[in-house]
Amino acid sequence: MKHYGAETIKNIAIAGHSGSGKTSLAEALLFRAGASDRLGKTADGNTVCDFDPEEIKRKASLGTSLASFEYNDIKVNLLDTPGLFDFAGGMYEGVTASGTVMITVSAKSGVKVGTEKAYDLACELDKPKMFVVTKVDDPDANFYNVLTDLKTKFGPTVCPVVVPVIKDRKVVSFVNLIEMKAYTYDENGTAVETDMPTAEISEKMEYRMDGLVAAFSEAVAETDDELMEKFFEGEPFTQKELVHGIHKGMNEGIITPVVCCSSTTTAGVDMLLKEIELLLPAPCDNKPAIAEDMNGEPVEVAYDETAPLSAFVFKTVADPFVGKMSFIKVISGVLKANTDYVNTVSGAPEKTGKLYTLCGKKQTEVTEAYAGDIVVAVKINAGTSDTICDASRKVVFPAIEFPKPCYRMAVSAKAQGDESKISTGIQRLTEEDRTLWYGMDPFTKEQILSGLGEQHLDVAAAKLKAKFGADVVLKEPKIAYRETIRKKVKVEGKHKKQSGGHGQYGHVWIEFEPCLSDELVFEEKVFGGAVPKNFFPAVEKGLQDCMKKGVLAGCPVTGLKAILVDGSYHPVDSSEMAFKTAASIAFKEGLKQAEPTILEPIGKLTVTAPDDNTGDIMGDLNKRRGRVIGMNPAAKKGLTVIEAEVPMREMQSFTTQLRQITRGRGSFSLEHLRYEQLPGNLVSEVILSVDNNNE
C-alpha cells in the first residue's frame, strides 16, 4: 500500500439505529470501490465487516470493525459501528477515531433513537456529520418524509446533496444537486446520465427540485461572506464553489449533507464515494486534537507527519490465536513497526511489533503509518484509551468516556475446575470491552459481571465459551440482606460438658440491644471477676463468629451491641473454647428473643430520561417501592434527572424496563445507600428464597 498522508485519508465511522443498514452500506462501498469482489449480505452472514461468529449468528454488528480501502488516490478507513444499545461501547470507539460520522437512516423507518444518539455523540465529540438515507428502493420507503423529519429533528444544518426522483412509489433516478445532473442505474448498479426530472414525472417533482436547490444554495452561502453576497444577487454557484462550501460547512458544523442510496442494488453508491472524496474532511482539515502534556496543561496536536509521534489506542480485541490486537489512530508523526515508544498513560516503555491494515478480517502488513491513518498493532501492552508517544514529546489524549455498566448477573462455572479459565477469559473480555465490569460483590461474595443489557452479557458468555473454553452460568445476583434486632434482651449462655478428665465449662450473661454500627459493638461490665478477663476475647470471638449468620434466614447480622454483664467459671474446666461456645448459645437465644427482623439494601437511583417519560418512570418506581426524592432539568434540553431511593431487590429488571419506556433514550446509575427494614409481608418470601439459594 502506498504512502497516504493526512491530506489523502478519510476516517469514517458509520453509525445509526440498529437495522438502518450500516453494515450493508459498508459492504456496498467496499464492493463499488473494488475492495471486495462480491456484495455480501447480513442475512447470509457473509459481509466483510460482520465476520465474528456471534455477529454471523445474531445477524447484527456487536463491535466496531475496520475496513480500509483505496479509491481514486485516497485511503478510506471505514469504521462500522454497532447500532444495538447493548453494544454502544463500539459506537463510542468508532466515533472517537473518526474524522466524519456517517449516520445511516432507513428511508422506510425514518429517524429513530439510534439516529439521535449517533448525532448527539458526534456533536459531543465535535465531529463533522453526514446523513445517508438507505433502503430508498424499498416499496414502503419515503425519502422526502425522512428528509423533513431530519430537518425537524436536527435543524437547518441538514442539507440535501443527492436526492431520488420518485414515480409511482418507485425510484426512477437520482439527482446530484452539486452537479445538477440526474442518473439512472442498471441492474449492475452502473450509472447512466439521464434528463433532469420535469412535471411529467410528477407534479410535485419540479416544484420540489426548485425548493431543494434553493435550500442547498442557501446552506452553502452561509459558509462564506462572498458566497452569501453572490447568493443574494441571484447568481448560481459554480460546482467548485459548492464543493468548497459544503466541505467548509461540514468542518465548521454548520452543514450536515444528506445523500441517499440503495445498498442492495448499489444505486447511488458511486455518488456517495464521490462525495466521500470531495466533501468529507481529511485529517489535516480536522481540528487539531487536544491533549495534555506531562504537567497537565492542554496542548494542541496537529495532524503533522513531520512532528514527533503521538498515537491513540481506541479499541482492543482479545484474539485467542493472534493475541491482543490494538487499533491505533496516528495523530502526529509516523508510527513504525518494531520501534520503541512510551505509553504516557502507564509510563511504561512500549515496543510495536508488526503493524497491519484491516479490511474486515483480512490483514495486510505495513511497515509504518502516517499522521491521520488507522492501523492495528499486535501483542503490545497498551490498552484502550492509552497514548503512545515518541520520548521527545510526551502527551496524553483524553480517555474515551464509555457508558457505565448497568445490568448485573452473577457468574459461576458450569463445570468444576473452570474458575481459572473464567477469570482469565473475562479479564481479556473486559480489556476488549470497557462497558463490561467483572468483580466480587463485597456483600454477597458472588462474582458479578455487569454490562449494558441482557444481550450484552449473553454475548460475553458466548465469547467466553467460544474463545477461551470457559462455560459459565449467568443467574440473578443474590440480594445482600442483613438481620438485626429491634429490642433489648438479657440472656444466659451456658456450656457444660463432662466426659472424663477435664470437662468444659463456660457461663455468660449477655445483654443484646440494637445500635447504629454495621459491626458488632462489644462491651464488658462484669463485676467481681465472675468471668476472668482472659476469657473476654473468647466471648467476643464467639459472638463475632455468630454475626456471620442470623437466626431468621442465615443472613449476616448488623446493628448489634453485646454487653457481657455476668457469668461464672470453673478453675479447671473453663477454657477459651468453652466461653466461645457459651457466647454462641447466648447469641442464638438472644436474637430469637429480641424481635429479629430482616433488613434490605436501599440504593440511590439517578435516572436521566426525556421529559415526556417522567410520569411513566415515576409510576414504575412506585411499583418497585421506590421513593422519588427530587426532579431537576438535565444539562441537555428536553431531559429530566429523577433522583429516588429504591430497594435493590426490585431493580434487576429496571434496565430493560427503562429502555422500553424511553425507547432507549434513558440512562441511570444505582449505588448502595443504606439498609432499611424489610416489609413484614416479604419476610417469609425472603427466608424461603435465601434457604433455596443456600441449598
Q: What is the pLDDT of residues 336-379, one digit of tens each?
A: 999 999 999 999 999 998 999 999 989 999 999 999 999 999 98
Domains 9-278 and 483-594 share a fold: no
CA 414/CA 398 separation, integer angstroms: 40
CATH number 3.30.70.870 is the correct assignment for the domain at 407-475: yes
Q: Supply 688's cell numbers.
A: 424461603
Q: Are strands 9-16 and 100-106 parallel, antiparallel or unpaired?
A: parallel
CA 376/CA 403 separation, integer angstroms: 24
> Does 657 have pLDDT greater than 80?
yes
Q: What is the pLDDT of residues 557-570, one digit of tens each?
A: 999 999 999 999 88
Nearest partner of 66 among 84, 89, 49, 42, judged by Cα = 49
- 3-state helix/strand/coil string of 651-670: CCCHHHHHHHHHCCCCEEEE
Q: Which helix (H) or strand (E) element contains residue 24?
A: helix 22-32
- Maximal C-alpha separation, the chain: 118
- Cβ burial of 384 (10 Å; 0-12, 13-18, 19+) is buried
Q: In the prediction, which pLDDT does 668 show?
A: 93
CA 506/CA 581 separation, integer angstroms: 7
Q: What is the pLDDT of residues 133-146, one digit of tens each?
A: 999 988 889 999 99
More confident residue, 691 or 6: 6
Backbone angles phi, psi at 263, to 5 degrees: -75, -25
> Does 648 have pLDDT greater than 90?
yes
Q: Are strands 289-293 and 395-396 parallel, antiparallel or unpaired?
A: antiparallel
CATH number of 9-278: 3.40.50.300
Mean pLDDT for the chain overall: 90
- Domain residue ranges of the chain, discontinuous segments joined by +: 9-278, 290-396, 407-475, 483-594, 599-694
Q: Is the separation of the CB atoms in 330 and 311 below 8 Å?
A: yes
> Does 187 have pLDDT greater than 90?
no
> Does 210 have pLDDT greater than 80?
no
Residues above pLDDT 70, as percent of the chain: 97
Q: Which helix (H) or strand (E) element contains residue 232?
A: helix 225-232
Q: In the prediction, which pLDDT does 207 show?
A: 60
Q: Is the separation of the CB atoms in 80 and 64 below 8 Å?
A: yes
CA 671/CA 680 separation, integer angstroms: 25
In terms of phi and psi (left: phi > 0; alpha: psi -120 to 50; beta: otherwise), the region of 471 is beta
Q: In the prediction, which pLDDT does 305 show?
A: 92
Nearest partner of 291 among 369, 376, 371, 389, judged by Cα = 389
Task: Measure the CA dihedral 156/161/165/170, to 10°.
Answer: -90
Q: Is the separation of the CB atoms in 375 and 328 below 8 Å?
A: yes
> Does 186 have pLDDT greater than 90?
no
At the second CATH level, the architecture of 290-396 is: Beta Barrel (2.40)
**Does residue 252 sit in helix, strand or coil?**
helix
Q: Are strands 596-610 and 560-568 parallel, antiparallel or unpaired?
A: unpaired
Q: In the prediction, which pLDDT does 10 show?
A: 95
Q: What is the pLDDT of residues 419-467, one digit of tens each?
A: 888 888 899 899 999 999 999 998 888 999 999 999 999 999 999 998 8
Q: Supply 165's cell numbers.
A: 426522483
CA 524/CA 505 separation, integer angstroms: 19
> Does 294 have pLDDT greater than 70?
yes
Residues listed for the chain: 695
In terms of phi and psi (left: phi > 0; alpha: psi -120 to 50; beta: otherwise), the region of 397 is beta
**Matching residue, cell 497491519:** 356
Q: Is the separation of the CB atoms in 687 and 553 below 8 Å?
A: yes
Q: What is the pLDDT of residues 70-123, one digit of tens each?
A: 999 999 999 999 999 999 999 999 999 999 999 999 999 999 999 999 999 999
Backbone angles phi, psi at 80, to 5 degrees: -85, 110
Q: Picking from 59-68, 190-199, 579-588, 606-615, which range would have the lowest pLDDT averaged per residue?
A: 190-199
Class of the CATH domain delimited by 483-594 = alpha beta
Contacts of 58 (CB under 8 A, 6+ apart): 459
Tally of CB atoms within 10 A around 679 = 11
Q: In the prediction, which pLDDT does 527 show?
A: 83
CA 609/CA 666 separation, integer angstroms: 4
Q: Supply 691's cell numbers.
A: 434457604
Residue 81 has, within 13 A of its CA and on its CB side, a CA count of: 34
Q: What is the pLDDT of residues 408-419, one digit of tens each?
A: 999 998 877 778
What average pLDDT does the segment 464-480 reach?
90
Q: In the prediction, which pLDDT does 627 show?
A: 95
> Does 693 have pLDDT greater than 70?
no
What's the one-letter identity of residue 564? L
Residue 194 has, within 13 A of its CA and on its CB side, a CA count of: 17
Q: What is the pLDDT of residues 241-259, one digit of tens each?
A: 888 899 999 988 899 999 9
Q: In the prediction, which pLDDT does 489 show?
A: 94
| Helix pair 239-252, 225-232: axis angle to 10 deg | 130
Q: Is the separation of the CB atoms in 159 and 257 below 8 Å?
A: yes
684-689, Cβ contacts within 8 angstroms, sequence gap of 24 or more: 686/479, 686/481, 686/553, 686/598, 686/600, 687/552, 687/553, 687/598
Q: Is the separation of the CB atoms in 185 and 191 below 8 Å?
A: yes
Backbone angles phi, psi at 454, to 5 degrees: -60, -45
CA 128/CA 131 separation, integer angstroms: 11
More confident residue, 453 or 319: 453
Q: In the prediction, which pLDDT does 694 show?
A: 57
Instruction: Please list the residues that pair with 374 across neighbouring strands.
Output: 329
What average pLDDT does the segment 167-173 reach?
84
Where do the H-state alpha helices sit in 481-613? 536-546, 576-593
Class of the CATH domain delimited by 599-694 = alpha beta
Task: Measure the CA dihedral 39/41/45/49, to 10°.
Answer: 70
Q: Are strands 162-167 and 504-514 parallel, antiparallel or unpaired?
A: unpaired
Q: Which helix (H) or strand (E) element contains residue 31?
A: helix 22-32
> Does 212 have pLDDT greater than 90?
no
DSSP secondary structure letter of residue 477: P
DSSP secondary structure letter of residue 457: H
Contacts of 67 (CB under 8 A, 6+ apart): 26, 30, 35, 48, 49, 77, 78, 80, 358, 359, 360
Core vs surface per residue 411-424: b (16+ CB within 10 A) or e: bebeeeebeebbee
What average pLDDT does the segment 477-494 reach?
93
CA 58/CA 171 separation, integer angstroms: 31
**Matching residue, cell 485516497:** 74
Residues above pLDDT 90, as percent of the chain: 67
**Matching residue, cell 461464672:** 568
Nearest partner of 276 among 78, 451, 571, judged by Cα = 78
Q: Would you place residue 235 in the very low, low, confident or very high pLDDT band (cuts 50, 70, 90)?
A: confident
> Does 206 have pLDDT greater than 70?
no
